[in-house]
Structure 1
């Protein structure tokens, strides 16, 4: 761990407020998600109160965890003036939106998240996905998505107080946070760099043990893996930092993990191409033949939302292979079929 980082507990999920750099603390928060039980929020001092990054999934347990951690630092929830989200997914955004309504805390997020935020409908959380899944050969998954009952979900959701642009600066103690647009995981994902502290609040863009889903949102862009790879390379062009991820332990080097993720996707592209050479013709056929997660599970063993995400991720890899000229695409309004070049 470099000199500007502070040692962390052996178990990164340990509740509380853990210092990661002078004046900056990590707060692990509970999630109601199978397989992903914790999200890291980060708190630092602003010019007129606290700034809280990615404050979790709205609910009493989450609010209690934040309140308890802030109390360890001698603060109250009312001391928070601004919440910054790296992206619009519920485990990063909804608590901040709830506090916007109940406590008047300002909420800001990347400007290109407006497509999915403005398009969100509680009656149809995946409005475009059934059509996309069907075109990828996953008609059965498309039917299951259409059958999802989301009535009574009740999670607070809506637009922020302000949209952030690439290059915007947010004043904090001992400097500024620089907003860096990193599309890929979502269309408007951003990360926040604190250069004086030598840290990067990376959200889901750079995770220490897993890779993020691609295009799993209401209004995904057409080429999320291309954007994701470009966003990763963008970070390599900047000075290295301590990695402060949304899920997982603090990392000593953002650059080291970025190189690992780029290597993973190069390998994945080769695996997808080999399956096309062997006779697969669409994203669903490829996804069913690949192992998923660190446990190397088959597609059918995953939860529905993870199956959906997996098929869309393979479609994103096929797009890159087509862009590179390694495969050809035969596309109709009803189907996308690929062949090894």
Structure 2
């Protein structure tokens, strides 16, 4: 599997283009906005995009979903159904954060822990990691030792939990019980900022280092 990170929106959210190197088929993860930039990356890499994958439904991750799905004829998979209230509130989010008007959408498939999503010859495991939002999911590709973790974990930090239905204890539990056990060698693409690895964060992230051995 190959990938390209495309920072979008004023929040510099890491939208990611994933694709199967054998078939050229791929997916766009978290198209929060700046769709011209995303479409340009798709053209430059020669990817045939089949679907949109969403880790969660905050506007900087999901704001461009409805338009991109319509423009390119894509299926929408994710996030978990408990994020439905965030999707319904996208217009209010756009006003609150000064984003352009956005459209509400209905995912073609809500995702749950243990599900899988695929494009081309690539299959990703779905890991439910609530705490930042209740329906937040992570996409994990074991053969590449790569995870797309949205706003659960960052280099040196963790996701905010002060939004509606966020919960700090739940977020720490998601990191402890769902992400770190995937292995120290797993690299991750966060929703914002540079990549890191679970091993590096286990050792040095002040929010989790030293807590779990």
TM-score, normalization by structure 1 = 0.53
2 CA distance for matches of 1:116 and 1:154?
15
- Deviation of 1:215 after TM superposition, in Å, equals 4.3
Would you say the 8 A contact 1:42–1:55 is kept in 2? no
1:236 match = 180
1:55 match = 31
Name which of 74, 82, 88 aligns with 1:112: 82
1:273 match = none
- Deviation of 1:40 after TM superposition, in Å, equals 3.5
State which structure, 1 or 2, has the greater radius of gyration over its C-alpha atoms.
1
- Deviation of 1:256 after TM superposition, in Å, equals 2.4
1:322 match = none
Matching of residues 1-341 of structure 1 within 5 Å: 23-32=1-10, 36-45=11-20, 49-57=25-33, 62-75=34-47, 79-109=48-78, 110-118=80-88, 120=89, 122=91, 154-217=101-164, 220=165, 224-234=167-177, 235-240=179-184, 241-251=186-196, 253-258=197-202, 260-261=204-205, 263-264=206-207
Structure 2 stretches of 5 or more lacking a match?
none
1 CA distance for matches of 2:99 and 2:190?
31
Pairs aligned (count): 206
Structure 1 stretches of 5 or more lacking a match?
1-22, 126-147, 267-341
2 CA distance for matches of 1:163 and 1:212?
22
Deviations along 1:173-219, whole A, 9 cap, x unmatched?
Answer: 554100000001111111011001111111111111443211414xx
1:333 match = none
Distance change in 2, residues 1:116/1:70 (3 Å)? closer
Distance change in 2, residues 1:151/1:206 (3 Å)? closer
Distance change in 2, residues 1:194/1:149 (3 Å)? closer
1 CA distance for matches of 2:74 and 2:138?
20
Structure with the largest fraction of helix: 1
- Deviation of 1:150 after TM superposition, in Å, equals 8.8
Q: Cα RMSD between the aligned structures?
A: 3.0
